[in-house]
């Protein structure tokens, strides 16, 4: 196998020594629990090489796991069945910025934040804003249909995907969509690839819709003594003001403290138990100055004891950085944990925090909680305490997750809002879906990938 792959990608684009493969044996889910090594890692430089690799793998029934930045939180990029890890990191070219059509075309291995750096000088802006944007790749964002901190106003990644070049598991290269804003010719295969977690094909090139850079931005941080009051204020902020913020993030005290200590940052959070980060943007400063006091008032009427406004870029970035760094900070302070990503209808979000407080007490565990509350999407990290033995911890996770997912389903929610099923949630996915849905999904998988070589062992068996 290695000889054939070496002939395709060249000796500088292949790793065959297992001692150099550690980085490719895991993503950002808990390393010990899920890590698995591939037989070989390859770094194709173009779509033709991807095609040749997949043709070879398909012929010899070798598993292939596509890999972006490896920031995934569901084990999607872990090569559980060994075989080939196909890393997109060398396909990181910005191919075209098309001002007239407001699009950018890039290779799948471009770091998400680099897209905005490249298009900013043209007055344009890509609205995707996953909190990992400085290290994840756009191909990974498409494979996970990533959300993030601005999805409440701008939607998730898929909304901006106009065109995709995809290499199928059988080696054919197909082009889906292009620069069209509208296109209803036949089944929407492009949308099927978005969120398919690397199980249907390899995304090689992407054309994204861009927006004009907003002229004005402000960030409010609202401090609450009561966590339930903070989360209950979330839907009211939108309903009572009629304003849809760009971001509406919730962070409890434990999450903020962990992140501030990790960053050596001091936010003026006083005695607050919870904080809301609310970002507004728009086409003019005056309108924003009219909007943010209205939002501040609703926060205060609903329990905020203080509201700060950050209207300069440096302070805004300080607050967002604290929010973005929470997952890493919590993983550093508690390496053994289970990071969850539940989502419920926005109207049900006030019921989640009291429920989670009950779970914390019942199972004697800490569950720091933060996330994109404006979308109904919360990240909860179940923590292993020092007192828990390994057996207790495993039993606790299972029992607590059964209850949490059960409650989320009862509320009409889902077990993942943006991190995907991957390996981590496979067991729960089959329980969450109806049998006809599952059967249909398996038939789709078989139509794309008859030999089951693309990222096997993910989503479902």
Ligand X SMILES: Cc1cc2nc3c(=O)[nH]c(=O)nc-3n(C[C@H](O)[C@H](O)[C@H](O)COP(=O)(O)OP(=O)(O)OC[C@H]3O[C@@H](n4cnc5c(N)ncnc54)[C@H](O)[C@@H]3O)c2cc1C
Sign of CA dihedral 79, 85, 86, 91: positive
Number of residues in contact with ligand X, rule: CB under 6 A? 38
- Of 309 and 423, the one with the shorter C-beta distance to ligand X is 423
Helices (H), 93-224: 112-120, 138-144, 151-154, 189-193
Span from 14-22, 116-124, 196-204, 405-413 in contact with ligand X (CB under 6 A):
196-204
Residue closest to ligand X (Cβ):
140
- Give me the residues paired with residue 382 across strands: 338
Dist. CA 177–CA 205, nearest whole Å: 12
Dist. CA 139–CA 19, nearest whole Å: 27
Q: Does 177 bind ligand X (CB under 6 A)?
A: no
Span from 137-145, 222-230, 260-268, 270-278 in contact with ligand X (CB under 6 A):
137-145
> Which residue among 328, 366, 392, 403 contacts ligand X (CB under 6 A)?
328
- Of 229 and 459, the one with the shorter C-beta distance to ligand X is 459
- Of 304 and 329, the one with the shorter C-beta distance to ligand X is 329
Span from 39-47, 119-127, 130-138, 231-239 in contact with ligand X (CB under 6 A):
130-138
Span from 33-41, 64-72, 251-259, 428-436 in contact with ligand X (CB under 6 A):
64-72
> Which residue among 9, 41, 104, 202 contacts ligand X (CB under 6 A)?
202
Positions of E strands within 127-229 = 161-167, 173-177, 202-209, 211-212, 216-224
Contacts of 419 (CB under 8 A, 6+ apart): 72, 73, 74, 144, 339, 341
Nearest to 252 by CA among 322, 189, 153: 322
Residue 309's H or E segment, with its range, is strand 304-310
CA atoms within 13 A on the CB side of 241: 22
- Of 145 and 217, the one with the shorter C-beta distance to ligand X is 145
Q: Does 28 bind ligand X (CB under 6 A)?
A: yes
Q: Which residues within the stretch 99-118 sit at the binding site for ligand X (CB under 6 A)?
A: 108
Q: Which residues within the stretch 439-458 sit at the binding site for ligand X (CB under 6 A)?
A: 455
**Residues of the shown chain interacting with ligand X in the complex, contacts defined by CB under 6 A:** 27-28, 65-73, 76-77, 88, 108, 130-132, 136-137, 139-141, 143-144, 146-148, 197-198, 202-203, 327-328, 418-419, 422, 455
């Amino acid at each position: 196998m290695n000889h054939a792959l070496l002939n395709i990608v060249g000796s500088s684009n292949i790793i065959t020594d297992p001692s150099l493969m550690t980085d490719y044996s895991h993503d950002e889910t808990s390393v010990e629990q899920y890590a698995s090594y591939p037989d070989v890692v390859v770094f194709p430089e173009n779509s033709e090489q991807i095609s040749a690799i997949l043709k070879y793998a398909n012929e010899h029934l070798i598993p292939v796991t596509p890999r972006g930045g490896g920031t995934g939180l569901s084990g999607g990029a872990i090569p559980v069945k060994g075989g080939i890890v196909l890393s997109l990191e060398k396909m990181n070219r910005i191919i075209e910025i098309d001002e007239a059509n407001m699009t950018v075309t890039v290779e799948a291995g471009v770091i998400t934040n680099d897209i905005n750096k490249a298009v900013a000088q043209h007055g344009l802006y890509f609205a995707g804003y996953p909190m990992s944007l400085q290290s994840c790749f756009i191909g990974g964002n498409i494979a996970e249909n990533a959300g993030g901190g601005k999805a409440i106003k701008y939607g998730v990644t898929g909304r901006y995907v106009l065109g995709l070049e995809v290499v199928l598991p059988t080696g054919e290269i197909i082009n889906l969509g292009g620069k069209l804003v509208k296109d209803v010719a036949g089944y929407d295969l492009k949308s099927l690839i978005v969120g398919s977690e690397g199980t249907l094909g390899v995304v090689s090139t992407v054309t994204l819709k861009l927006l004009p850079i907003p002229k004005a931005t402000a960030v409010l941080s609202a401090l609450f003594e009561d966590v339930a009051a903070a989360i209950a204020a979330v839907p009211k902020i939108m309903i009572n003001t009629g304003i849809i913020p760009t971001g509406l993030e919730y962070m409890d005290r434990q999450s903020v403290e962990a992140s501030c200590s990790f960053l050596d940052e001091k936010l003026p959070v006083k005695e607050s138990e919870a904080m809301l980060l609310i970002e507004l943007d728009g086409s003019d400063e005056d309108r924003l100055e009219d909007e943010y006091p209205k939002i501040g008032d609703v926060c205060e009427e609903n329990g905020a004891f203080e509201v700060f406004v950050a209207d300069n870029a440096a302070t805004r970035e300080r607050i967002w950085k604290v929010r973005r760094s929470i997952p890493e900070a919590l993983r550093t302070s508690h390496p053994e944990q289970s990071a969850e990503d539940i989502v419920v209808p926005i109207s049900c979000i006030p019921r989640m925090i009291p429920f989670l407080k009950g779970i914390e007490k019942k199972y004697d565990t800490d569950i720091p909680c933060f996330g994109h509350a404006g979308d109904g999407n919360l990240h909860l990290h179940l923590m292993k305490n020092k007192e828990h033995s390994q057996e207790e911890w495993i039993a606790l996770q299972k029992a607590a997750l059964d209850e949490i997912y059960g409650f989320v389903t009862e509320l009409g929610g889902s077990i993942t809002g943006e991190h995907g099923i991957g390996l981590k949630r496979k067991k729960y996915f089959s329980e969450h879906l109806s049998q006809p849905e599952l059967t249909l999904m398996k038939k789709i998988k078989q139509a794309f990938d008859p030999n089951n070589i693309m990222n096997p062992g993910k989503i479902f068996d």
